[in-house]
Structure 1
Amino acid sequence: MNGGVLARRVGVVFLCVLSLVACVGLAWWQWQRFENGGTWQNLGYVLQWPLFGLFPAFMFWRLRKLRAQAREERPEPQPAPPTETDKPVVRQDVQRQDADEDPELAAYNRFLAQLNARDQQETR
C-alpha cells in the first residue's frame, strides 16, 4: 500500500474517532442539561448527537464499499473497431416509407444519407 494512501486512511479514521468522541461529549452535556431541569428538546439532542458522530464513519464505509463495487463492475475491453463490412446498410425502402409520412422527416433523412455517403467516401 502506498504511504500517502495509508496516511490518508489513518487521517480519516482519526477524524471519524474524533468526531464520535466530540459528539458523545455533546450528548453527555445535553443529558446533564436534561437531568437538571432541561426540556424534551435536550433529550432529543441526547439521541441525535451520537448519530451525528457516527455519520463520518458511515460515509467512510459507504465510499469504500462503492469504490470496491465500481472496481468489480469495470467494463469489458472494447472489441476492435468495425471494418468496412461491419457498417450498417441504409435501406432505401425505409427512407421512402418515411417520405410518405412526413416531408420534413424525409428531408432530414435524405440529409443524413448524404452525410453517410460522404463519410463512406472519405474513409475509403
Structure 2
Amino acid sequence: MRRLWSPAWIARHVLAVGLVAGFLALGWWQISRAAGGNTLSWAYAFEWPVFAAFVVFIWVREVRLTLRGKPEVPVSPAPSGSAATAYRRPVRTARQPVGYDDGADPELAAYNRYLAWLNEHPDARPADYPG
C-alpha cells in the first residue's frame, strides 16, 4: 500500500477524484438542461456518468497493476567477472523452405529473392536491397 502514496500516485488520486466529480457535475448540469426542454441534453446526461465510470475503471486497473508488482524477468547467467543482465533471449527455430515452384512466374521469383534477402539481413532497410 505504500506504493500508492508516492507523490505521483497522490497526483493520480487527486486527478481521478477531480475528473469523476467534474464528470458527474456535468452530467447533473445536463439533466437540469434536459429538464428545461433541451432534448439533446438527455444524451449528454447519460454520457458524462459513463465517462466518470471509465475513469474509475482505469484507476482501479492501475491500482491493481501497481499492487501486483512488476513481473519477474529471468536473469541470464553472467559471464565471470561481470554483473548479471536481465533480458530475455530470443527463441530461434529452424525454418524449412516452403515447397512451391516459382519458376513459372519471374515476378514471383524476384519477389521471393527479395524477401529472402530481407530475412537474411534483418537490420537492413528495403532500400538497401541490391537487386
TM (normalized to structure 2)?
Answer: 0.48
Query: Shift of the alpha carbon at 1:27?
Result: 0.6
> What are structure 1's unaligned runs of at least 5 residues?
82-97, 99-104, 106-111, 113-124
Residue of structure 2 equivalent to 1:58 = 57
- Over aligned residue pairs, what C-alpha RMSD do you find? 3.4
Residue of structure 1 equivalent to 2:127 = none
CA displacement 1:57-87 (0-9 Å, x = unmatched): 322322343455562x323222467xxxxxx
Determine helix, strand or coil for the equivalent of 2:6. helix
Would the alpha carbon gap of residues 48 and 16 (structure 1) be closer, same or farther in structure 2, given more than 3 Å must change? same
Query: Shift of the alpha carbon at 1:47?
Result: 1.0
> What are structure 2's unaligned runs of at least 5 residues?
80-96, 98-112, 114-119, 121-131
Give 1:32-111 correspondences, 5 Å limit: 32-39=32-39, 41-67=40-66, 71=70, 73-79=71-77
Determine helix, strand or coil for the equivalent of 1:76. coil
Determine helix, strand or coil for the equivalent of 1:75. coil
Structure whose residues are more often helix by fraction: 1
TM (normalized to structure 1)?
Answer: 0.50
Larger Rg: 1
Q: Percent identity?
A: 25
